Amino acid sequence: MVEESEKLLSLIKSGEVSNQLYLINAMVRIYRYEKEYSWGTRQLIYENVGFKVERFMRWKWFFRYLQAKEQIKTPRQLVQIECISYVNPDRDKVLIKVLSNKLIAAKRDRTKAQFAIEKGKKVKESTSLFSYEDDPDYLKALEYLSGKEKLIAEIEAEIAQLNKHS
């Protein structure tokens, strides 16, 4: 169980897991049962709603700590952690937020590339006898810039499509 959660956390950090994980929230509850078994009357000790998956993975040790602390207080009663994952009903709003964050990042990268190209042009013109248009670094930068512009157009189209539905 712990290895799977650490593996998922590393996938999230590396970016291999899609942005669909932003849709998933986790709810954590800690219950104390009156008996040593898990049926019968139970009392809610702790509840936290709205954790994102990555934050839940980071704070899982704290929930185990709370469970152990409650178990020490009442050793003859069962204390359990209940973790529930759910998707917000406002799925489109969450997707729009994720896409708008991606759009902001892509626009930032495009602006940085534009400034770097302009700076490179000025440096090349002032220091070289040859034209900057044949430089492979300049061509790579133009290719990167066009890729960012395509990405921006795609994201804007997705946001517009989601805004139509909602």
Report pLDDT for 127. 84
Could you give the percent of the chain with pLDDT greater than 70?
A: 82
Report pLDDT for 15. 57
Could you give the percent of the chain with pLDDT greater than 90?
A: 25
User: What are the extents of the domains in the chain?
Assistant: 2-88, 92-165
Helix (H) or strand (E) holding 163: helix 136-165
Structure pTM?
Answer: 0.51
Tens digit of each residue's pLDDT (9 = 90 or more) over 115-166:
988 988 888 888 877 777 888 888 898 999 999 999 999 999 988 888 887 6
CB 95 within 8 A of CB 155: no
How many Å separate Cα 6 from the centre of its chain? Answer: 15
Question: d(Cα 33, Cα 42) in Å, to the nearest integer?
Answer: 4
Q: Which position has the token pair 């810039």? A: 145
- pLDDT reading at 14 higher than 80: no
Report pLDDT for 147. 94
